[in-house]
Amino acid sequence: MPSTDITSLTILKALLNAEDGFVSGNDLAKQLGLSRVSIWSRMEQLRSQGFEFEAVTRKGYRITKKPESLNPWLTTAYLDTELQIPELVFLSSIDSTNDHATRLLANDYEAPFFVISNEQTMGRGRMGRQWHSPPSCNLYLSFASRPNVRPDRMQLFTLWMGVCVARHLRERLELNIGVKWPNDLYFDGKKLGGMLTEARVDADNLRELIFGIGLNVNHTRKDWPEDLRQSAVSLRELAGRKLDLNRTTALLIEAIYTGYETFLSGNIRDSFEDLWPELDVLKGKFVEAKSRDRTVEGTASGIDNRGSLILKTSDGKVITLNSGDVHLKHR
Ligand code: BTN
């Protein structure tokens, strides 16, 4: 995807933030130290990206149409500049954003960075599953870093990131989105998104970390393949309106980056312990949990301090699982 330039971004930000929607060409030219012709040529560049503008005498320019699919300019313009978000690598299509981030890290690309793609041709879920990743409607994103910390510090990482994303979506959309251990975002028994954290550990040091997230944003019922129709849901279906994919992406990037920074600062335990019970969709539910070597049933009873799921079985035993797949079970 074409990279953004700072002048076009400044123009776009001014237009997005204008109270009545209008920004005068003269003001922009003065503010940016450019001629009106240069401003006009930047607007042409933005037009070629799918933006449309209206020009009104004595008022200036106003945006009349924004691109609906992933657009580097629009996503970047929505970001809060004060948060100093690291580089965003935008792609029109890729096998998997996690795989692309892995390749960039292997080639010494400067981290941290985000990889965001309009579609994935081989999107991956946990346990070798495929992640349905059609173009232009959902979010496929990976955040890559070189944390250089002891691996045992990361035990709660994916759950913490789930908490950060779920809280952000709850606040923004006023929906009771929760986290299903160990890596899903859920609403009312349906899967809204999934997280896939991958790492490279060398001699007790976490060298590379990739946090991938797929979020169903603007899918409609008819777009789902048959096998997902009953079990998946999108934000659009929940909110009852189509969401601005670029704004959703920008806000998610902010939630992920601030969540990551807080996590690495080492101060999340107290807030995690307060927040988890509220977001834990399995709490108190009778479930079947499958791990590599066994299948167990019991009542989900929270997690321990390493992020393992606690199950209470009907014969009074307490079992903890540090990985696996969990399904609600009807008794
Ligand atoms: C799961 O629920 O099993 C995890 C799904 C993770 C999907 C995301 S989409 C962006 C990133 N790239 C991938 O190939 N997978 C993750």
Question: Where residue 272 sits, what CATH number does that domain have?
Answer: 3.30.930.10
Indicate whether 240 belongs to any domain.
yes
CA–CA distances in Å: residue 158 to residues 25, 104, 196, 266? 46, 22, 8, 15
**Best CA proximity match to 238, nearest among 261, 216, 257:** 216
Q: Are 273 and 315 in the same domain?
A: no
Mutation choice for ligand 1 from 104, 180, 210, 213, CB with most ligand atoms inside 8 A: 213
Angle between helices 157-173 and 269-279 (to 10 degrees): 60
Indicate whether 220 belongs to any domain.
yes
Determine if ligand 1 sits within 6 Å of the CB of residue 194.
Answer: yes
Q: Are 299 and 173 in the same domain?
A: no
Distance, in Å, from the CA atom of 183 to the CA atom of 131, rounded to the nearest integer, reads 13
Q: Are 125 and 260 in the same domain?
A: yes
Q: Are 316 and 212 in the same domain?
A: no
Indicate whether 170 belongs to any domain.
yes
Q: Are 138 and 210 in the same domain?
A: yes
> Of all protein residues, whose CA lies closest to atom 16 belonging to ligand 1?
212
Q: What is the pLDDT of residue 3?
A: 64
Final residue of a structural domain among 21, 46, 65: 65
Q: What is the pLDDT of residue 191?
A: 97
**Best CA proximity match to 98, nearest among 55, 133, 47:** 133
Q: Are 61 and 12 in the same domain?
A: yes
The number of the ligand 1 atom at minimal distance from the alpha carbon of 129 is 3
Q: What is the pLDDT of residue 2?
A: 62
Mutation choice for ligand 1 from 131, 211, 217, CB with most ligand atoms inside 8 A: 131
Domain span holding position 26: 6-65
Determine if ligand 1 sits within 6 Å of the CB of residue 131.
Answer: yes
Q: How far is the CA of 213 from the centre of ligand 1 (A)?
A: 5
Does residue 65 surpass a pLDDT of 90?
A: yes
Determine if ligand 1 sits within 6 Å of the CB of residue 98.
Answer: yes
Q: How far is the CA of 212 from the centre of ligand 1 (A)?
A: 6
The number of the ligand 1 atom at minimal distance from the alpha carbon of 141 is 10
What's the pLDDT tens digit per position in 145-197? Answer: 999 999 999 999 999 999 999 999 999 999 999 999 999 999 999 999 999 99
Does residue 331 surpass a pLDDT of 80?
A: no
Determine if ligand 1 sits within 6 Å of the CB of residue 324.
Answer: no
Backbone dihedral angles phi then psi of residue 3, each to the nearest 5 degrees? -85, 160
Q: Are 38 and 124 in the same domain?
A: no
The number of the ligand 1 atom at minimal distance from the alpha carbon of 213 is 8
Q: How far is the CA of 25 from the centre of ligand 1 (A)?
A: 43
Q: What is the CATH number of the domain that holds 42?
A: 1.10.10.10
Q: How far is the CA of 300 from the centre of ligand 1 (A)?
A: 25
What's the pLDDT tens digit per position in 78-128? Answer: 999 999 999 999 999 999 999 999 999 999 999 999 999 999 999 999 989
Q: Are 185 and 216 in the same domain?
A: yes
Does residue 1 surpass a pLDDT of 80?
A: no
For 141-182, the DSSP string reads: EEEEE---B-GGGGTTHHHHHHHHHHHHHHHHH----EEETT
* Strands 87-91 vs 113-117: parallel, antiparallel or unpaired: parallel
Mutation choice for ligand 1 from 118, 130, 158, 196, CB with most ligand atoms inside 8 A: 196
What's the pLDDT tens digit per position in 191-227? Answer: 999 999 999 999 899 999 999 999 999 999 888 999 9
Q: What is the CATH number of the domain that holds 291?
A: 2.30.30.100
Indicate whether 324 belongs to any domain.
yes
Q: Are 24 and 167 in the same domain?
A: no
Q: Are 103 and 218 in the same domain?
A: yes
Q: How many domains does the chain have?
A: 3
Structure tokens belonging to residue 114? 């985000």
The number of the ligand 1 atom at minimal distance from the alpha carbon of 95 is 14
Residue % of the chain over a pLDDT of 70: 99
Indicate whether 1 belongs to any domain.
no
Final residue of a structural domain among 279, 294, 319: 279
Final residue of a structural domain among 65, 89, 109: 65
The number of the ligand 1 atom at minimal distance from the alpha carbon of 120 is 14
Q: Are 179 and 302 in the same domain?
A: no
**Best CA proximity match to 102, nearest among 127, 73, 122, 129:** 122
Determine if ligand 1 sits within 6 Å of the CB of residue 145.
Answer: no
Q: Are 319 and 204 in the same domain?
A: no
